[in-house]
Every structure is written in structure tokens, then in C-alpha cells.
Amino acid sequence: MTRVRVAAFSISLDGFGAGPRQDINNPLGVRGVELHSWFFLTEAFKKMHGQSGGTTGIDNDFAAQSFENVGAWILGRNMFGPVRGPWSTPAQEDPWRGWWGENPPYHTPVFVLTHHARPPLAMEGGTTFHFVTDGVESALQQAKDAAKGKDVRIGGGVSTIRQYLIAGQIDEMHLVMSPVFLGEGEHLFCAINLAQLGFTSSQIVAGENATHILTKKT
């Protein structure tokens, strides 16, 4: 049975899932990269990018598990890139193709929420980006169909996770609390009552560089 889940999503001690003022030099917002320091150190991250080395242990185990049994992803437009408005203009022969180069780390169909239509973008390694203009419900149904019984991972950003939470569509979350205060940015749970949505904390595990919190909908 397909689960809809958030996995290895990093938040700060004060609840922010991204920094402010995203741009080409700050893909995760100003200081947002600090949230993911635990992940960048792991063997799983290095392997994803064709590198060797990296740390093993609890953080690495959770990082690796977050990619298991994923049949499709959903991303918000800001997660795909800093481009706003139409994807290209007559002066742009090659529109934005994502942050990750020609071989993104997804290796599945990825459904990108956007207000601006664009043909599917096939990349190396089995990733194809599909640009969905008719809302979160449509993106989720398309992702479930593409996943063929595997899980759908809501990859972010913050706004996308919030939309699916409010819609009651997320079954479980693996959040990673990084030991930093951002002070500003995009707050993940502001005005969202997780208890009313049926979530309970099922496991809390201290990793080497962050704390892993697993929560499911009862």
C-alpha cells in the first residue's frame, strides 16, 4: 500500500524548515544549508553524488532509509529552483533544469507543483520532472499512479509539506532537528495542530549530529 511520507526533512530548534530570501546563491534560503549539515556528512549523501567516504552510524542509517521504497516524489516549485513566473523567455534558450545537474538524486518520477505549464523534463538516472499546474490533489494522484504501490515522498519545501498536512494527506513524517537557531525563514508548523490531525510521536533517536523524530498518523 502506498504511503505518503516526509522523510529526512530538517528543521531548526526554533521550527524553521528553510531560511529566508531564497535565490540562486541560497537554494535553501539564507543559512538554510545549516539545517542539513548532518546529512552532508553522511556516507549516503556522498554516495548519492558519486563520492566515497562519509560518516556511518545513526545519521547515515536514517539518511539511507529515507530513500528506500520511494516510487515517486512531489516537490514545490521553489524546491526545484529559484525561477519565478514563466519558465523561460525568448531570450532564454535553455530554461532552468534544477539544482542537481544532469543526474538528479531522485531516480523516479518527480511531480513539481507550479502555476506555469512546462513539458516533462527527462534527466539522466531515471529522473523525469513532471510539472503539475492543477493543484496538490492532482499531483498526489499522479505520483501515486507513478509509484506503482511504492511510497510517495513529499520532498518539500515547507509550503508544500504544509499544504499536504492541512489536506490530511501525509501518513508519516521523519523530521530531523538540527542544533541551530535560524530566527527567521519558513516555519513548518505555524498554526498547524498536529495532534488534531492525528499525529503522535512514535520514536525519538539521537544521532551523531542531529535528532531524528518519527511521527505517524493514528
Q: Does some domain include residue 203?
A: yes
How many Å apart are CA 72 and CA 67, to the nearest integer? 10
Q: Does some domain include residue 120?
A: no
Identify the pLDDT of residue 49.
86
Identify the pLDDT of residue 218.
87
The CA-atom distances, in angstroms, between 73 and each of 19, 146, 154, 160, 199 are 22, 10, 6, 12, 22
Q: Does some domain include residue 187?
A: yes
Q: Does some domain include residue 20?
A: yes
CATH number for the domain that contains residue 59: 3.40.430.10
Q: Does some domain include residue 209?
A: yes
Q: Does some domain include residue 208?
A: yes
Residue written as grid cell 527527462: 122
Identify the pLDDT of residue 90.
54
DSSP 3-state of 104: coil
Give the contacts of 93 (CB within 8 A, at least 6 positions apart): none
Q: Does some domain include residue 157?
A: yes
Beta bridge partners of 163: none
Identify the pLDDT of residue 87.
84
The answer, yes or no, to whether the previous bond of 183 is cis (omega within 30 of 0) is no
Residue written as grid cell 532564454: 92
Helices (H) and strands (E) in the chain, counts: 6, 11
Check: CB of residue 197 under 8 Å from CB of residue 57: no
The CA-atom distances, in angstroms, between 36 and each of 61, 108, 146 are 15, 22, 28
Identify the pLDDT of residue 92.
55
pLDDT means over runs of 10, the chain (218 residues) = 96 97 92 97 93 96 98 96 80 78 96 96 97 98 98 97 97 98 97 95 95 95
- Cell numbers representing residue 210 in the block: 542531529
Check: CB of residue 108 under 8 Å from CB of residue 69: no
Q: Does some domain include residue 140?
A: no
How many Å apart are CA 82 and CA 76, to the nearest integer? 11
What is the domain extent for residue 192?
A: 4-73+150-217
Report how many domains make up the chain: 1
